[in-house]
Amino acid sequence: MSSEQIEKAYRDSRESFSRLGIDTEAALESLAAISLSVHCWQGDDVAGFEKSGAKLSGGGLSVTGSYPGRARTADELRQDLGKAYSLIPGRHRLNLHAMYGEFGGRAVDRDAVSPAHFQGWADWAVGEGHGLDFNCTCFSHPRADSGFTLSHRESAVRAFWTEHVKRCRVIGAYFGRRTGSACYHNIWVPDGAKEESSDRGLHRALLADSLDEVFAESFPPDELRDSLESKLFGIGSESFVVGSHEFYFGYALSRGKILCLDMGHFHPTESVADKVSAILQFFPELALHLSRGVRWDSDHVVLLGPEVQSLAAEVVRGGALDRVHLGLDFFDASLNRVAAWVIGARAVLKALLQALLEPTVRLRTLEAEGRTFEQLAWVEELKTLPYGAVWDYHCLKHGVPPGMDWVEDIRAYERSILARRGT
């Protein structure tokens, strides 16, 4: 579709929305200000760069598929990210894991990582205008093989992981200073057991003590923000997870930290969207990891569907776009990895656009007045409005291929770059 056709379609759609009292220009302005945190680990199947040929192991995590073209170096990963960013409208962040440092071929254990190992990432982010977020990596390591890290019974093991997380917070603060944008450092640990535990309280007390030690050093909030991510279960921790939702809710609330909700880390019948307004009653900020679970926490690529649409709607309806940090979190090695980033990010942004084009005040008024059938009629009418034309115009304004035009870009990139890497 030509730019003239896109602009005409947008003008027609703007008129359709305007008749219903919806301002598309205001919605597009709000959408342009949203910055997603794009996760690095989709590009290399959560392998990292600590050693050549490394693969994800432990922590209840699993990556399936062997699509060719996996990034093998930091330069290749940055190259792939650059291609993905070029096909996603807006200016977005990058979310790094500690295992993605550039170690110069030397063996650097997790308790020895430092900002020097991430200078290349900081230089790249500053040059490209991306904010940086960070995660400690408490899996794929011999000291995590028991299934416990910060809540391990042995003090030496806990000390190792505590030191690692402390150093990751220092790196996060470094990122915040370098980019001029606060780094969100997220803590997720795989701690738990395959079989029933007779001493759950002990492990949770140890985790709380370890976290208190981790947070003993404070950093300016414009450099570093701390979040904690819960999980229902994982492979190898089916019966007991130390860092449950209830544990982290209580810990984060009592220590002034941010709670992180991953869409795949709850029971399939639970609604993460429903939790947003409840949590924001008590927390000034909330972090969300956007994923798509298929039967379990399978980290499938995000698609535009009811779960992400409901989540986006709750954030927008609550006027919480400035209080909620949105990050992608999926990894799929069965398809083109760069395309996965683009599909997931564009799906989230489309969901946010739909939410921004909702006449929230009108719907609330109808609900307050008990005019239920009218409220439902509006909700149904909104489903068939021409969102696609507004989305294509948003892409056009940001110099990004609209519609399906980006697919050929990915195909060309695969032929010229990814195919040469092999599996």
Average the pLDDT over 111-123 and give the result: 98
Q: Active site includes 394?
A: no
Task: List Cα–Cα distances, 87 to 324, 344, 395, 413, in angstroms.
Answer: 24, 12, 9, 12
Average the pLDDT over 310-316 and give the result: 98
| Marked catalytic residue, from 229, 307, 314, 332 | 229
Angle at 133 between CA 136 and CA 206, to 5 degrees: 30
Rg of the chain (C-alpha set): 22
What confidence score (pLDDT) does residue 63 get?
A: 84
3-state DSSP assignment of residue 134: strand
| Marked catalytic residue, from 44, 133, 297, 314 | 297
CB neighbour class for 412 (10 Å; exposed up to 12, middle 13-18, buried from 19): exposed
Q: Say yes or no to pLDDT of 54 above 80.
A: no
Non-local CB neighbours of 271 within 8 Å, separated by 6+ positions: 310
How many whole angstroms from its chain centre is CA 63? 17
What confidence score (pLDDT) does residue 51 get?
A: 84
Mean pLDDT in the chain? 96
Q: Active site includes 222?
A: no
DSSP code, position 292: B
Say how far apart CA 300 and CA 344 lie, in whole Å: 9
Task: List Cα–Cα distances, 414 to 14, 71, 211, 246, in angstroms.
Answer: 37, 12, 43, 44
What confidence score (pLDDT) does residue 423 get?
A: 60
Cβ 205 vs Cβ 235: under 8 Å: no
Instruction: Give the number of other Cβ atoms within 10 Å of residue 65's Cβ.
Output: 12
Q: Active site includes 231?
A: yes
Average the pLDDT over 294-318 and give the result: 96
Q: Say yes or no to pLDDT of 366 above 80.
A: yes
Q: What is the pLDDT of residues 277-292, one digit of tens each?
A: 999 999 999 999 999 9
> Looking up tokens 């499938």, which residue turns up?
300
What confidence score (pLDDT) does residue 59 get?
A: 72
> Looking up tokens 């030509």, which residue turns up?
2
Phi-psi region of 256 (alpha: psi -120 to 50; beta: other; left: phi over 0): left
Q: Say yes or no to pLDDT of 53 above 70.
A: no
Average the pLDDT over 197-219 and give the result: 98
Q: Active site includes 55?
A: no
pTM: predicted TM-score of the whole model, two decimal places = 0.96
CATH class for the domain made up of 35-357: alpha beta
Say how far apart CA 200 and CA 190 lie, in whole Å: 15
Average the pLDDT over 296-306 and give the result: 95
| Marked catalytic residue, from 299, 307, 358, 392 | 299
Average the pLDDT over 133-152 and give the result: 97
| Marked catalytic residue, from 130, 203, 265, 300 | 265
Non-local CB neighbours of 221 within 8 Å, separated by 6+ positions: 182
| Marked catalytic residue, from 226, 329, 332, 358 | 329
Q: Say yes or no to pLDDT of 352 above 80.
A: yes
What confidence score (pLDDT) does residue 64 get?
A: 86
Q: What is the pLDDT of residues 229-279, one digit of tens each?
A: 999 999 899 999 999 999 999 999 999 999 999 999 999 999 999 999 999
For residue 382, give both structure tokens: 């909104």
Q: Active site includes 275?
A: no
